[in-house]
């Protein structure tokens, strides 16, 4: 995961003893070996160097972590149909899809309350995670991370927390060891207490981890908290697209994080009926190693859209929407490449939104019910740099998307009972970059 009367014989000789200096080299070599065995190295010698290598997966592993009362897992594959729902009341529930069905495999976890609905595509293990819009205030806004190592070998993880005033002191969150098959939870209110909207970076320097975050948030300054999963997302970039936006939120806040050493200037674009800068939203400056929050509720008018975040230095972002006291998140997603399947909350009504980052594309959209019967089978044209919505009925349990290009991102939002649930569509992970640690000299 280094003037003598003795005749020059071609080797160095200690003029005081006449012994070859090779003895000194042996001592140095012995000392270096002892350092290596102890797991440490002299400064500048044998410094660990980390790189990565691309590895094709023989299977996909989804970690459904639960963490919200009444959590139920919906999983399966396009080839095999929907599995029986599984309740998660204890340790994370692992869903394993072998290579034969991996391309069309999916897993999601949901929980429904009287006035709320929570949903999260179950995460797959990877080396880097970002969670934007977290909290560490015990009463009004707290986030609990669940880190799972579903793979052979131990994982070594560092967790960093960023807030409005810069990095947040978080002793004990570096060098976390997670054994194979083990799970670790981190309550930010206890490990990094602070106020404001936060961003959390999780980096596995050895191995891979699946990470989920349960976010307890009070939409009002005081009052009842709502519990939702905060999705993880990709690393900061100069160009990030947020998908999975509810149609008509009553309020919405964009949380940004700039992990770099200089200010980042951010501009927003709406991908809707074409791509355009939203009226009334000025450029946003995010200070180094800090988060910033801006209200953007005026952007949304019920039309199908995604939100593009452009910056002069790498940032990442999440959109927190509030609707009738429930919350939902839209996070950064990658463009879909090849067939991708995902589960949706059964009984929900809403839409899948397809958005083009460039050229016009066609996307084959097939929706299935719980018995595997086709509900929708359509070839949808996504306009260049625009968005289009595809209706999701209460019968739909899972959906497959097959684009004919590589410029489309997707997300969905549905109403379930009195709550809302949304998510970006995560492309199928069929290969990963594994960290490699070796000795650099």
Summarised one tens digit per residue, pLDDT across range 258-290 is 999 999 999 999 999 999 999 989 999 999 999
pTM confidence score: 0.84
Summarised one tens digit per residue, pLDDT across range 284-342 is 999 999 999 999 999 999 999 999 999 999 999 999 999 988 999 999 999 998 899 99
Q: What's the token pair of residue 299?
A: 């952007």
Q: What's the token pair of residue 67?
A: 């963490």
How confident is the chain (441 residues) per 10-residue block, as mean pLDDT?
Answer: 38 38 40 39 35 62 96 96 94 94 95 94 96 94 97 96 96 96 97 97 97 92 84 94 94 97 98 94 97 95 96 98 94 93 95 97 97 97 98 97 96 95 88 49 37
Query: How high is the pLDDT of residue 11?
Result: 37
Query: How high is the pLDDT of residue 220?
Result: 72
Query: How high is the pLDDT of residue 308?
Result: 98
Query: How high is the pLDDT of residue 23?
Result: 40
Residue with tokens 């009972």: 417
Query: How high is the pLDDT of residue 219?
Result: 81
End-to-end CA distance of the chain: give it in Å, rounded.
16
Rounded distance, CA 350 to CA 381, Å? 19
Rounded distance, CA 298 to CA 291, Å? 21
Query: How high is the pLDDT of residue 26?
Result: 40
Cα pseudo-dihedral 403, 404, 405, 411, rounded to 10: -10
Radius of gyration of the chain (CA): 25
Query: How high is the pLDDT of residue 29?
Result: 44
Rounded distance, CA 168 to CA 161, Å? 5
């Amino acid at each position: 995961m280094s003037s003598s009367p003795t005749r020059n014989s071609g080797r160095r000789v200690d003029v005081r003893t006449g012994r070859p200096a090779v003895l000194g080299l042996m001592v140095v070599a012995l000392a270096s070996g002892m350092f290596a065995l102890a797991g440490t190295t002299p400064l500048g010698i044998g410094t660990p160097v980390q790189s990565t290598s691309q590895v094709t997966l023989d299977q996909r592993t989804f970690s459904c972590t639960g963490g919200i009362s009444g959590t139920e897992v919906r999983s399966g594959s396009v080839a095999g149909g929907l599995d029986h729902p599984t309740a998660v009341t204890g340790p994370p529930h692992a869903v394993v899809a072998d290579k034969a069905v991996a391309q069309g495999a999916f897993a999601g976890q949901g929980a429904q309350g009287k006035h709320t609905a929570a949903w999260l595509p179950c995460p797959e293990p990877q080396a880097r995670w970002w969670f934007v819009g977290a909290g560490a205030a015990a009463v009004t806004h707290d986030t609990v991370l669940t880190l799972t190592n579903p793979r052979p070998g131990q994982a070594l993880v560092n967790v960093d927390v960023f807030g409005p005033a810069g990095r947040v002191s978080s002793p004990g969150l570096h060098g976390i060891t997670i054994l194979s098959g083990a799970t670790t939870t981190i309550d930010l209110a206890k490990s990094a207490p602070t106020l404001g909207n936060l961003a959390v970076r999780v980096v596995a320097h050895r191995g891979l981890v699946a990470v989920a975050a349960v976010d307890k948030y009070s939409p009002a300054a005081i009052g009842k908290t709502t519990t939702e999963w905060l999705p993880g997302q990709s690393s900061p970039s100069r160009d990030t697209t947020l998908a999975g936006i509810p149609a008509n939120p009553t309020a919405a806040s964009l949380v940004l994080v700039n992990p770099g050493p200089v200010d980042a200037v951010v501009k927003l674009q709406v991908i809707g009926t074409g791509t355009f800068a939203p009226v009334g939203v000025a450029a946003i400056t995010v200070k180094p190693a800090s988060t910033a929050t801006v209200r953007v509720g005026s952007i949304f008018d019920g039309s199908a859209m995604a939100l593009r975040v452009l910056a002069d230095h790498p940032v990442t972002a999440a959109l927190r929407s509030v609707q009738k006291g429930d919350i939902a998140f839209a996070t950064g997603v990658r463009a879909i490449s090849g067939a991708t399947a995902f589960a949706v909350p059964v009984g929900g009504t809403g839409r899948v939104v397809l958005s083009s980052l460039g050229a016009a594309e066609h996307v084959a959209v097939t929706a299935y019910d719980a018995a595997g019967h086709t509900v929708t089978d359509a070839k949808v044209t996504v306009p260049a740099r625009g968005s289009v919505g595809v209706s999701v009925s209460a019968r739909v349990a899972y959906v497959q998307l097959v684009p004919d290009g590589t410029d489309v991102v997707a997300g969905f939002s549905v109403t379930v009972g009195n709550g809302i649930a949304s998510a970006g569509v995560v492309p199928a992970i069929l290969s990963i970059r594994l960290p490699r640690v070796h000795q650099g000299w």
